[in-house]
Amino acid sequence: MLLPVMFSFFTAAGLWVVYFIAVEDEKITPLSSEYKRSESKSPPYISIAGNAPPASCVFSQVTNMAAFVGFILGVLRYLQLKPRVHKPWLNIGSLVALSLACFGMTLVGNFQLSNDEELHNIGTSMTFGLGTLFCWVQSFMTLKVNLRNEGRRAGIPRFLLSGAVTSCMLLYFALMAQRLHMHAARAQWALVMFFLTYLGTFAIEFRHYHFEIVCSDDQDPPLSLSESFSEVSEYQSDQL
């Protein structure tokens, strides 16, 4: 249950640390200020905040860790829904979408805007586009599967968050096209915070489940109880 909540909290905290480092180094204009093109500071986009060291070092670490844990969340969610969905392609497609979004996140963090703008923008499109698709699919599956009769309790907030994510993404690209950079940056930050909040809602269903990793050797047949006692006695005699 704590994994989605901790993921959302620490990822958001890490991104805000990147933001405050960039503001302190006077690399970007604060979100609360007005952007003036005559200034040497850049608009406070997340990518620009994490574009130069030392903020870029923290940004890469945050995005890599977030991509890894986000992928783990996607796998756990897939396993949770696997025995209950009647259309497995929807569950598989959701996992693929989030996996590619997480991969895009690593591109965003490891290829800074000033180093490889094209690859960085590809990663941004993958993260935002496929992440939004994942939100809508999971919202639909939440109501459809209705785990522990909590489908409406979790599904309605997820639909609202999916709408917020989509609205922020469309607003972000629209404002970017009009070169309203301060408003576009605010929409981008809101988009990321809504998306992290969405992933944190998986704690609602995860609290009812227990996940285990079982490792077994298929080559050796399982020991009977008498064989187990025999091995223990042989080990003790060897020690004596």
- The burial of 122, by beta-carbon neighbours within 10 Å (0-12 exposed, 13-18 middle, 19 or more buried), is given as middle
Instruction: Report pLDDT digits (tens) over 151-177.
Output: 888 899 999 999 999 999 999 999 999
Instruction: Report pLDDT digits (tens) over 15-46.
Output: 999 999 999 998 998 998 877 765 678 899 99
Mean pLDDT of the 108-127 span: 92
- Find where tokens 């050796």 sit: 220
Residue 64 has what pLDDT? 96
pTM above 0.75, yes or no: yes
Instruction: Report pLDDT digits (tens) over 187-204.
Output: 999 999 999 999 999 998
Q: What confidence tier does 8 reach under pLDDT thresholds 50, 70, 90? A: very high
Q: What is the dihedral angle through the alpha carbons of 65, 67, 69, 74, rounded to the nearest 10 degrees? A: 180
- What angle in degrees, to the nearest 10, is found between the helix axes of 117-145 and 151-177? 150
Q: In terms of pLDDT, which residue wins out, 172 or 238? A: 172
Q: What is the 3-state secondary structure (H, E, C) of 77-89?
A: HHHHHCCCCCCHH
CB 190 within 8 A of CB 166: no
- Which is nearest to 110 in space by CA: 173, 169, 67, 70? 67
Tokens of 42: 């850049």
Provide the 3-class DSSP secondary structure of residue 28. Answer: strand
Tokens of 88: 């497995």
Residue 231 has what pLDDT? 43
